[in-house]
Amino acid sequence: DAKTTQPNSMESNEEEPVHLPCNHSTISGTDYIHWYRQLPSQGPEYVIHGLTSNVNNRMASLAIAEDRKSSTLILHRATLRDAAVYYCILISGNTGKLIFGQGTTLQVKP
């Protein structure tokens, strides 16, 4: 299974943009890039996913490198409620097993 690498932690100020990086150099052509986040005492929740093109939704944007070996989750204006652990994971239709990494703990300062 392809692995992802993320920084352990990041800090941001409230109302500023946040760029959360993820490296996935062993990504295969059928792997979708997914991002999830987990708030304290809650289950992980879906944020965004993409295959090759950049993606936007109401929660965030996903920028995917041209070679697909890295991606960046962009929170345009961080709020205190965005403080969470963010997980980047590759999901393929051919793979049953899904392993999560340690994720990035995002702290948002008021």
Partner 1 sequence: DAGITQSPRHKVTETGTPVTLRCHQTENHRYMYWYRQDPGHGLRLIHYSYGVKDTDKGEVSDGYSVSRSKTEDFLLTLESATSSQTSVYFCAIRFDLSSGNTIYFGEGSWLTVV
Is position 49 an interface residue for partner 1 (rule: CB under 8 A)?
yes
Is position 99 an interface residue for partner 1 (rule: CB under 8 A)?
yes
Question: Where is 9: in which H helix or E strand?
Answer: strand 9-13
Question: Which one of 21, 44, 65, 72 is in contact with partner 1 (CB under 8 A)?
Answer: 44
Question: Which one of 29, 40, 43, 110 is in contact with partner 1 (CB under 8 A)?
Answer: 43
Q: Residue 16 is encoded by which pair of tokens?
A: 């500023």
Task: Kindly give the pairing relationship between strand 55-56 and strand 45-50.
Answer: unpaired
Q: Which stretch binds partner 1 (CB under 8 A): 9-17, 21-29, 62-70, 86-94?
A: 86-94
Is position 7 an interface residue for partner 1 (rule: CB under 8 A)?
no
Q: Which stretch binds partner 1 (CB under 8 A): 15-23, 57-65, 69-77, 84-92?
A: 84-92
**C-alpha span between 7 and 18 (Å, rounded):** 13
CB 86 within 8 A of CB 106: yes
| Strand order, beta sheet including 61-64 | 18-23, 70-75, 61-64, 55-56
* Residues in touch with partner 1 (CB under 8 A): 32, 34, 36, 42-46, 49, 51, 85, 87, 91-93, 96-103
